[in-house]
Structure 1
């Protein structure tokens, strides 16, 4: 009896050690995958505020929450199972699918720039008289979730590449953890950014400290500029992420010359600029990728608009 109990306890100890080791594998996978995906996370955080600016303050947080829920659905219910299935059964399809997403991001970014330069606006914008506010909000949220889907696909693909040699359940757990943590970080940061003006107004009205009131006035003056700047960064982020996905995809498919040329330019700039080399080298690559995205996106935008106009006629 006692020997059976000891054997059972030994078995439990072995299972516990195996479970601990497996959790360590998941944690290591999450850390590695999250680090590699950090660049796209920054782009995601820059893109998102543009979808919630200029709404009334009472709608900002509900809109962010709707987009965040859509982002979680994108990552856990759509992208995670697709990533695991493609990785297991059709890994060659991952790169072309990501490239299509890169073309979509490039198109979105290019269209925004065309509109800013005086081109025709397509669909309602905040510059128009909004007849149905609920429908406009729904369309804005849907657009944000579509853009998030592409950025999330890139995050999940980068993350999967870091854990692809692990058992499939470790891959699934790591991707799910990365998706949840990144979504919370991105949309938590976005919520803080878009509510900073409300915090400033509260300080101006409620604080008894002159320093706090001055800080509040500073926030009120700065936040419109910050949000406008983030909107511009978000547009550029669409272009450089889209262009970067396309360049990397071409290299994966055997046409590596464009990406290698841009990498060589980046290394040359980094070598020539001393202490600022790392930042300026990255910036050179980002600008080059954004130009690629802009050219391709503009071509797609022109084609789409011509097709739309011909259908209208």
Structure 2
């Protein structure tokens, strides 16, 4: 009897772990959009330091990210345990913030081109100045990256929690902790690889072997393009993920999306492709609209607040 009880316990544990792994995969897919933006933002934040200090800065930010998650994960699980009704509103707020952040990024890049160019010139000048206080520059970059990570980590954890909100608390905890750890290791491992890609390319491009030199040149050319691609893909993913959260969290929209998908799927020849793309396109369009409206509200609200605080 003792042996059979032990095997039954092992089987139960294996089943639970298998369920956790499956739910973690679902949660990872849901948080993939935030991951793309997390990669782009952190790679851009860390890229502006001297080559020999890039990996130490990435490590410092990764430690800051773990500290962020050590705060956010227990807070999210406490909300799930004592105030589960707040999960959906938090998801909606997180989705709206994603849309706002994506649209604000686009608007800022269009409306503040000169300011962005000046900032890059100032940073480049500081990096080339032997008298520049690089410790202060690094600290500022680490603080900025950790602040950004806190917001994105909160979104990742809330989205992951939302995918397992109906599960028992123990499974929720295992899934959310797994996602937090995997995302941290994955993001900062990839960030480290991205920021060192140009160094690796430069090293290989100076080797004697022609094939190795060619690979080095490819890496050198690909590094800046990859940064731009990550930024574009991350922004698009923010609209799709944020818009999807808002669409699926708004009563009555599921039927509209389902009907639109059926109509698109019925188009001759292109039906399967259109049917597959339609939900994502609807989510992205909803995300863009929500982001634009949120930016307008925040901008007007900020101006009104400043006018009230301004002394007469």
Q: Check whether TM > 0.5.
A: yes
Correspondent of 1:302 among 296, 299, 302: 299
Report what 1:58 is aligned to: 52
Does 1:256 pair with 2:260?
no
Report what 2:216 is aligned to: 216
Correspondent of 1:82 among 58, 75, 79: 75
- Provide the C-alpha distance between the structure 1 equivalents of 2:260 and 2:118, rounded to a whole number of angstroms: 38
Contact kept, 8 Å, 1:196 with 1:223, in 2: the verdict is yes
The number of equivalent residue pairs is: 294
Deviations 1:218-253 (A, max 9, x none): 22112211201211222333333333223333x2xx
Correspondent of 2:281 among 279, 284, 289: 284
Report what 1:227 is aligned to: 227
Report what 1:178 is aligned to: 179
- Provide the C-alpha distance between the structure 2 equivalents of 1:199 and 1:270, rounded to a whole number of angstroms: 46
- Provide the C-alpha distance between the structure 1 equivalents of 2:237 and 2:118, rounded to a whole number of angstroms: 20
* Counterpart secondary structure, 1:78: helix
The structure-2 alpha-carbon separation of the partners of 1:107 and 1:124, relative to structure 1 and needing over 3 Å to count, comes to farther
Runs of 4+ in 1 over 6 A off after TM superposition: 120-125
C-alpha deviation, 1:65, in angstroms:
3.0
Deviations 1:266-305 (A, max 9, x none): 4544543245346533541342233233223322441354
The structure-2 alpha-carbon separation of the partners of 1:41 and 1:270, relative to structure 1 and needing over 3 Å to count, comes to same
- Provide the C-alpha distance between the structure 1 equivalents of 2:146 and 2:274, rounded to a whole number of angstroms: 39
Does 1:144 pair with 2:138?
no
Report what 1:38 is aligned to: 29
Report what 1:5 is aligned to: none
Correspondent of 1:116 among 100, 109, 117: 109
The structure-2 alpha-carbon separation of the partners of 1:61 and 1:203, relative to structure 1 and needing over 3 Å to count, comes to same
When the two structures are superposed, what TM-score results if normalisation uses the length of structure 1?
0.78
The structure-2 alpha-carbon separation of the partners of 1:64 and 1:135, relative to structure 1 and needing over 3 Å to count, comes to closer
Does 1:91 pair with 2:84?
yes
- Provide the C-alpha distance between the structure 2 equivalents of 1:115 and 1:134, rounded to a whole number of angstroms: 24
- Provide the C-alpha distance between the structure 1 equivalents of 2:52 and 2:301, rounded to a whole number of angstroms: 36
Does 1:47 pair with 2:62?
no
Uncovered stretches (5+) of structure 1, i.e. residues with no partner: 1-9
Uncovered stretches (5+) of structure 2, i.e. residues with no partner: 127-135
The structure-2 alpha-carbon separation of the partners of 1:51 and 1:186, relative to structure 1 and needing over 3 Å to count, comes to closer
